[in-house]
Structure 1
């Protein structure tokens, strides 16, 4: 059964609008600044956890002590 041209044109316009909306969403989600901000926020949250924060502080102190010891030997 053949469809009339007006129906085909409406379907094409709906498909274009859906595609434009999808491309806008992809553009928003793939924005490099947004991705960097999200990564930075999640990294800060991870480092704020006590089971990550305190071992890192301990490792930093250990490296500092070893450097000072090596300099004054």
Structure 2
């Protein structure tokens, strides 16, 4: 631990600057625009391979199958209840 006042002041200022940088990073990560951008990227990465840019047909077909299944289930329920 240093007893020199000027060294102590420098250390405090460096700590303040580090904390300010950390707070800025946290604010950026928690901003709605950043969160939305991150979620959009995640969804796109699920359907398009980021490395090659090629569509991931297996994931696309799974999603289409699930949507068709839900639509068929709704139609069947409506016909049964009508």
Fold match by TM threshold 0.5: yes
- Match of residue 57, structure 2, among 33, 50, 67: 50
- Tell me which stretches of 4 or more aligned residues in structure 1 moved more than 2 Å: 58-66
Where relative contact order (Cα < 8 A, 6+ residues apart) is larger, the structure is: 2
- What is the CA–CA distance in structure 2 between the aligned matches of 1:62 and 1:2, rounded to whole Å? 70
Unaligned runs of 5+ in 1: none
Alpha-carbon shift at residue 65 of structure 1 (Å): 4.3
Name which one, 1 or 2, has greater alpha-carbon Rg. Answer: 1
User: What's the C-alpha RMSD, in Å, of the aligned pairs?
Assistant: 2.9
Unaligned runs of 5+ in 2: 49-55
How many residues are paired up? 73
Q: Please, what TM-score do these two structures have when normalized by structure 2?
A: 0.64
Return the structure number with greater helix share.
1
